[in-house]
C-alpha cells in the first residue's frame, strides 16, 4: 500500500464541516485508510482573489488504489459535497481535494501530475505536509522543509 498525501481546501459554506465530511467519506472507503490529518489553516486565495479566505490542510492516506483510481475517488467526494467546476479556474469552491504525493511515484499523464505541479510554490500546501511528516521528501524536488525555506 502506498502512502499518499492529499491537499484539503474549502472557502464556501461551513468550510471546516465540509473538509471533515470529505475526510470521513474517504475514510469510509474500504480501499483508503486515513492515517493523519493536519491542522486546518485559514489562508488567502491564490489567483482569483475576489473570494472568501480558504481553510486548508492536508491528509496522509494509505491505499492500494492506483493514482488515477484515487483521483477518481477524490473527484467523486468533491462532487458529493457540492463541488462544481463551472466557475473560474482558481475561483471559490465548497471543497478541493488535490492529490499531492503518491509515495515515491512521479506521474505525468493527461489530467494527472504527481507530485502536484504547484506544490513547491504554496505555503498552504507545504506547511501541512511538514506538520504530517517533517522528514517528507518530494520526489524530484527534495525535502518539504527545504522547499518551505525557499518561500520564507
Please give the CATH superfamily to which domain 2-118 belongs. Answer: 7,8-Dihydro-6-hydroxymethylpterin-pyrophosphokinase HPPK (3.30.70.560)
Instruction: Compute the distance between CA of residue 152 and CA of residue 150 in angstroms, rounded to an integer.
Output: 6
Give the three cell numbers for residue 99: 492529490
List, for residues 32-80, the tens digit of each pLDDT value: 999 999 999 998 887 666 778 889 999 999 999 999 999 999 999 999 8
List, for residues 113-126, the tens digit of each pLDDT value: 999 988 988 999 99
**Please, which pLDDT band fits residue 87 given cuts at 50, 70 and 90?**
low
Asked if 48 and 89 count as a contact pair (C-beta separation under 8 A), the reply is yes
**Catalytic amino acids?**
83, 93, 96, 98
Amino acid at each position: 500500500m502506498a502512502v499518499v498525501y492529499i491537499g484539503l481546501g474549502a472557502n464556501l459554506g461551513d468550510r471546516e464541516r465540509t473538509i471533515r465530511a470529505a475526510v470521513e467519506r474517504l475514510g469510509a472507503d474500504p480501499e483508503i485508510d486515513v492515517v493523519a490529518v493536519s491542522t486546518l489553516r485559514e489562508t488567502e486565495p491564490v489567483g482569483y482573489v475576489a473570494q472568501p479566505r480558504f481553510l486548508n490542510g492536508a491528509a496522509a492516506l494509505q491505499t492500494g488504489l492506483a493514482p488515477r483510481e484515487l483521483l477518481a475517488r477524490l473527484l467523486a467526494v468533491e462532487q458529493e459535497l457540492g463541488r462544481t467546476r463551472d466557475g473560474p479556474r482558481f475561483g471559490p469552491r465548497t471543497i478541493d481535494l488535490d492529490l499531492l504525493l503518491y509515495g515515491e511515484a512521479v506521474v505525468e499523464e493527461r489530467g494527472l501530475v504527481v507530485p502536484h505541479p504547484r506544490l513547491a510554490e504554496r505555503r498552504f500546501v507545504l506547511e501541512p505536509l511538514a506538520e504530517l511528516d517533517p522528514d517528507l521528501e518530494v520526489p524530484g524536488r527534495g525535502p518539504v522543509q527545504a522547499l518551505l525555506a525557499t518561500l520564507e
